[in-house]
Amino acid sequence: MRVITGLARGRVLKTLEGEDVRPTTDRVKEAIFSIIQFEIEGREVLDLFAGSGQLGIEALSRGAAYATFTDLSKDAISVIKSNLLTTGLHKNSAVLQSDALTFLRNSKKKFDIIFMDPPYSCGLLQKALPLAAEVVNDGGVIICEHPYGEEMPETAGKFSLYRSYKYSKLALSVYRLNEEVVEE
């Protein structure tokens, strides 16, 4: 696993060990950043269920202003901190050991880009999505990685499912502001 492009291009990232760990493949990571390529520069990013932190780190490498990483696992927090130091991107980040739902409920901060890749088939994504919609700026985007075929809601707060992409056994669902729901 490596940083694809930007300031930390080519840097190898550590990952967690274990059967439950599924790092985002380079192919899918490239697809994610192709989708949002013109929306990264100077933005505030949240890497929820961060794991190794590779999505937030890629965003920082590509010019995001700041990234917040959250994960419940103590081991994940250690790996994220190590990866941030390896890439030299630690100054523009915060790493928090927290339950994702608790973090979202208590967050006073708003984000422009939210990455969500929770453990599969536990219903966490469906619980976190409406909460994430509350902490993303109106012009922002929420990107969810999940198993292909998993039912995703059409809306989350003022955000609607904009587009879905299939990559082998997984899918990306992209949520953007529902223009019809915007209050004037």
39-74 pLDDT, tens digit per residue, is 999 999 999 999 999 999 999 999 999 999 999 999
**CATH number reported for the structural domain that contains residue 76 in this entry:** 3.40.50.150
Asked if residue 14 is part of any domain, the answer here is no
The residue segments making up the domain with residue 142 are 26-181
Q: Is the pLDDT of residue 182 over 50?
A: no
The answer to whether residue 119 is domain-embedded is: yes
20 found inside a domain:
no
Residue 43 lies in a domain: yes
Q: Which residues pair with 163 in a beta bridge?
A: 174
Can you list the alpha helix ranges (DSSP code H) found in 62-179?
A: 74-87, 100-106, 124-135
pLDDT band at 12; cut points 50, 70, 90: confident
At a CB cut-off of 8 Å and minimum separation 6, what does 50 contact? 56, 69, 70, 71, 76, 80, 95
Bridge partners for 143 per DSSP: 115, 174
Does pTM top 0.85 for this prediction?
yes
In a domain, residue 16? The reply is no
Mean pLDDT (whole number) for 149-168: 92
| 3 state SS of 159 | strand
The number of distinct structural domains making up the chain is 1
Cα-Cα-Cα-Cα torsion 151, 158, 112, 49, nearest 10 degrees, comes to: -30
9 is a domain residue: no
Taking 70 as the threshold, does the pLDDT of residue 179 lie above it?
no
Domain contains 4 = no
- Residue 12 is assigned to a structural domain of this protein: no
What is the predicted pLDDT for the residue at 166?
Answer: 93
Helix 54-61 / helix 74-87 crossing angle, nearest 10 deg: 20
